[in-house]
Structure 1
Amino acid sequence: MDAKWVGSVVSINCGLTLGVYQGAVSSVDHTSQTISLKQPYHNGVRCPVAEVTFSAMDIKELKFLDIQNTTNKPSSVPGAATEASHVTSGRHNQSSRVTQTQVPTSSSHSNTAPITILRRAPVGSSNSRGGTQATQKKTNVKNGGGGGFMRQRDDECFGDGTDEDLDTDFDFEGNLALFDKAAVFSQIDGTNSHTNRSQQHSRQDEQKPRTYRHDENILQGKPIAYRQISVPQHGGKEYCTDSGLVVPSIPYELHKRLLAAAERQGLSLERRLEMIGICSCQMALTLLGGPNRLTPKNVHQRPTVVILCGPHIQGAQGISCARHLANHEVEVILFLPNFLKMQESVTSEVNLFSRTSGKQVASVKDLPASPVDLLINCLDCHVNRLLKEQSWYQTAADWANSNKAPVLSIDPAVSEQCQSIEAKWTLSLGLPLPLADTESRVYLCDIGIPKMVFPGNRNQLPFTFWM
């Protein structure tokens, strides 16, 4: 290239690696075969440096966009532009039609022509702007050659034409300030002020029916009464359920009168024992893990339950629970010493338990030494307080405390002193008794007493379910 082209605006394609540069020619060195551009643009973006120098080995294509030499401009512009479009490395031989936008440069020379930035040609034009080398290579692979509709479509999608406005940041705050939110809402609502719009929304809300959440009651009922149980004799303590209902305790004398009245109405002792056995069995199965523990695939890890019983009604209740647990294929060990005198209900329950797969032992030595899954305590009696002083009772209590198994106590006796066996769960019958202050969690067992049996409380049903 001759030095007479200094000042002309050119476009240099250096391939995929270096990209396309545009700028005014500042110098041409024939010895080193280099050309320099001042105020260059790289792929349509202004370069941070004032001048860039290119070697002839890196130039793939050179195009003259604007000729600065005024002496030869009238006669040489057409030929030079045509010739420049063919001065390539043999890869591109097709002339391109461009749309030019002139951007003033910061050059100090008054006769320097503005820099020309390439734009994408109109879609309907016959010739589109020459694409990048990667685009042409992709088009050649698909269509077997350059040009065609595929090349034009790829150039429209993946062309590298840019705008000079990208150099300036977009003013988001200023653009947001142009949006009048109040005016838009006024147009939507058909009003001219926020007050009218608020009044209109309030009137619409009053006309709409109220919506309820999934946990709200849509029926307008009576005020909630948390004290629904009244007793003629209060035991001195009150309990509270998870839902907030207050359950009063009753003394043992009122408890006996309640059971006697139920027996006169047809709720016999055998029925009560069966109901207590079923409820206590269901609670024990829940504490053991329920269906997750008792599955056909878990035969080798059956839970083991030890039930300590005495020769009284509370012992018969524990034996009934043991029978139902054995029916659910739980490893049951029943501790019941060989007493000379036992109540008839105890003997009847023992005969039924002997028909199951459960194991019955009479000595503490026959109880397992390793911890078991659950221990059910039915040693205490409401009537005979001297049982705690007997040797068999103390030996069984010591074994239970040393076994470290969780304890479920069924119908424990009222005692002002601490319990011999500390229980984690306590199951009371009907209404709770004023038990000693312990960390035991109290549950209520429904033993099937009709509500008309409760004296002085014929219109209300006590909350007696433990689940």
Structure 2
Amino acid sequence: MMTSFPVYGVQDLVELMAEEWLGYLVSLDCGVTLGVYQGEVSAVDQDRQTISLRQPLHNGVRCLVSEVTFSVIDIRELKILEIGNGRGIGSDPSSSSSSSHSRNGGHAVTGCPPVMLLRRGCHESQVMWRRAEMENITGGHRESFMTDTDVDLRGNLPAFNKRLTLTSNDPVTAAQREEKKYYTDSGLIVSSVSYDVYKRLLAAAERLGLSVERRLEMTGVCAGQMALMLLGGPYRLTPKNVHRRPQVVLLCGPHIQGAQGVSCGRHLANHEVDVIVFLPNCVKMQETVTTELMLFNQTSGRHVQNIRDLPVTPVDLVINCLDSHESIFLGEQPWYQAAADWANQNRAPVLSVDPPISGHHHAVEARWCLCLGLPLPLSQGEGRVYLCDIGLPQQVFHDVGIDYVSPFGSRFVIPLY
């Protein structure tokens, strides 16, 4: 009788993070936004609470990056596919009668059963046991995507022919490009753009009818979706789990980035998250901020204007929308400094939405950042980079002179490396 795969939740991972994981073949369920990753554990950092996979697969497809690192908070569930000594996914069930053991709350876990892999067109009786393969089950049939040979990242990227570039005859000068290359988990190159080019994109979008209000709403939905994923997604936010709602604080300034934060807060409140929006009572407040705040006040969320009204205990997530691309002197305001100090002292993980380009002072240290449409050249202090689709039509990129291929596929939020 086959033993079922050992499965760990987030709390188990925090307790069991140790070097004993090295060499294990695991499957990491990172929720709807990030998907499922599989690979061999290559590193475990107990201090930073991270785990790295070597030669990873994403949703069954081999990644072109050789290693991916995950924070524990990104992982919803970990399933062991193979114990470190080789017993498990690649072993013939009759080849050994011995059992491997793994830590599972102090209990021994026997060796995992091998996985049955079927190629397209094969009958179920044609079973293959291969150590280097994993399965991706889609549409009722099973396919194996992993090959025995390693993937050469640099050598294979040109074959994709999907690079996001600025065309050679476009009006954007080399000085304006300030390119920083990012990669998607499928190997697609996404080049950053300067803030000047980014402003031209938004202006072109408005001329075509994609108003600021529409863009705000799309940003709020995408940021809210990412926040829900970071909070635990369906594993924590269910109608039956109402005894302790996750608590999120949004730090917002009196500008368009602050309005995006308030919009995000409204969507989170609509999904039963305990939301607190900090927005100071400024003399000069953009109309979009006022409008979003009026909508937010119709939810169960709370709006506070003083830092003293924020929680003194750690919250589940802080979303930073204090910074503006235009107002570089905001950091000198007392309310800004007080909000940044509170965020850094609260010890909650921070998601920064639409952060300014590198060179700006970042008062709040973020674990993740979410860029809109196209990434800007960000500093290292902004944490792990994600990109969201804010609905810019293809014509917008054409008008600005960008040869654009969407990197999003079936998702609205994707990680960049």
TM-score bracket, shorter-length normalisation: 0.5 to 0.7
Which whole-Å deviations, capped at 9, do the CAs of 1:50-107 have from their partners, x for residues lacking one? xxxxxxxxxxxxxxxxxxxxxxxxxxxxxxxxxxxxxxxxxxxxxxxxxxxxxxxxxx
Distance 1:365 1:228, change over 3 A: same
Tell me the alpha carbon deviations over residues 276-304 of structure 1, each in whole angstroms, 9 at most, x when there is no partner: 00000000000000011111222111100
Give the structure 2 partner of residue 159 of structure 1: none
Q: What does residue 463 of structure 1 align with? A: 407
The question of 1:436 aligning with 2:400 is answered no
Distance 1:379 1:448 in 2: 24
Mind listing any 5+ residue stretches in structure 2 that lack a counterpart?
A: 1-141, 148-156, 167-171
Cα pair 2:388 2:413 within 8 Å, conserved = yes
Letter in 1 for 2:277: L
Cα distance in 2 between the residues matched to 1:392 and 1:438:
22
Contact 2:328–2:360, Cα closer than 8 Å, also in 1? no
Q: Distance in 2 between matches of 1:299 and 1:437?
A: 37
2:405 partner amino acid: L
Equivalent residue number for residue 229 of structure 1: 164
Aligned-pair distance for 1:437?
2.1
Partner of residue 393 from structure 1, selected from 325, 328, 336: 336
- Give the direction of change, closer, same or farther, for the CA distance of 1:226–1:399 in structure 2 (3 Å limit): farther
Q: Alpha carbons of 1:228 and 1:355: their partners in 2 closer, same or farther (altered >3 Å)?
A: same
Change beyond 3 A, Cα 1:216–1:365: closer
The alignment of Structure 1 onto Structure 2 pairs a total of residues equal to 252
Written as runs of structure 1 = structure 2, the 5 A alignment for 1:313-352 is 313-352=256-295
Q: CA deviation at 1:458?
A: 6.9
How far apart, in 2, do the equivalents of 1:433 and 1:288 lie?
Answer: 26
Report 1:91-106 matches (<5 A): none
Structure 2 equivalent of residue 24 of structure 1: none
Q: Report Cα offsets for 1:295-339 as digits up to 9, x if no partner.
A: 122211110000000000000000000000000010000001111
Question: Could you say which structure has the higher strand fraction?
Answer: 2
Paired residues for 1:124-139 under 5 Å: none
Aligned pairs for 1:22-421 within 5 A:
214-215=144-145, 224-225=159-160, 227-231=162-166, 232=172, 233-421=176-364
Deviation (angstroms), 1:216: 7.4
What is the alpha-carbon distance in structure 2 between the residues aligned to residue 399 and residue 303 of structure 1?
A: 19
Give the greater-gyration-radius structure (CA).
1
Instruction: Determine helix, strand or coil for the equivalent of 1:287.
Output: helix
Amino-acid identity (%): 60
Report SS of the residue matched to 2:268. Answer: helix
Q: Is contact 1:428–1:442 with CA below 8 Å preserved after alignment?
A: yes
Secondary structure of 1:325's aligned partner: helix
- What RMSD over aligned residues (CA atoms) do the two structures have, in Å? 2.1
* CA drift at 1:226: 5.4
Where in structure 1 are there 5+ consecutive unaligned residues? Answer: 1-211
C-alpha distance in structure 1 between counterparts of 2:177 and 2:375, whole Å:
11
AA paired with 2:413?
W
Are the structure 2 counterparts of residues 410 and 345 from structure 1 closer, same or farther at C-alpha, using a change threshold of 3 Å? same
Equivalent-residue separation in structure 1 for 2:262 and 2:215 (angstroms) = 13
Measure the CA separation in 2 of the matches of 1:308 and 1:268: 24
Contact 2:249 2:278 in 1 (8 A): yes
User: How far apart, in 2, do the equivalents of 1:401 and 1:284 lie?
Assistant: 19
- Deviation string 1:251-300 (CA, Å, 9 cap, x unpaired) is 00000000000010110011000000000000000000001111122211
The one-character-per-residue Cα deviations of 1:427-457 (angstroms, maximum 9, x if unpaired) are 0011111111236110111000011210365
User: Secondary structure of 2:250's match?
Assistant: strand
Deviations 1:135-167 (A, max 9, x none): xxxxxxxxxxxxxxxxxxxxxxxxxxxxxxxxx
Cα gap change, 1:247/1:300 in structure 2, threshold over 3 Å: closer, same or farther? same
Structure 2 Cα separation of the partners of residues 247 and 223 of structure 1: 13
CA distance in 1: counterparts of 2:188 and 2:403, whole angstroms: 17
Deviation at 1:236, TM superposition (A): 3.0
Deviation at 1:238, TM superposition (A): 1.2
2: CA distance between counterparts of 1:399 and 1:213? 50
User: Compared with structure 1, are the counterparts of its residues 223 and 441 closer, same or farther at alpha carbon in structure 2 (3 Å cutoff)?
Assistant: closer
Q: CA deviation at 1:462?
A: 3.2
Conserved? CA contact 1:452–1:458, under 8 Å: no
* 1: CA distance, partners of 2:223 / 2:210: 18
Partner SS for 2:275: strand
Per the alignment, in what secondary structure is the counterpart of residue 390 of structure 2? coil
Change beyond 3 A, Cα 1:236–1:394: same
Contact 1:230–1:457 (CA<8 Å) still a contact in 2?
Answer: no
Alignment deviations for residues 172-201 of structure 1 (CA, whole Å, 9 cap, x no partner): xxxxxxxxxxxxxxxxxxxxxxxxxxxxxx
More helix per residue = 1
Give the whole-Å Cα distance in 2 for the aligned partners of 1:427 and 1:349: 20
**What is the match of residue 5 of structure 2?**
none
Shift of 1:417: 5.0
Aligned partners of 2:220 and 2:261 also within 8 Å: yes
> Which residue number corresponds to residue 129 of structure 1?
none
Structure-1 separation of matches of 2:230 and 2:386: 13
Shift, 1:213, TM fit: 5.7
Give the TM-score, by structure 2 length. Answer: 0.58
Equivalent position amino acid for 1:254 in 2: V
Letter in 2 for 1:266: G
SS at match of 2:405: coil
**SS of match in other structure, 2:387:** strand
Conservation of the 8 A alpha-carbon contact between 1:251 and 1:433: yes
* 1:242 maps to amino acid: D
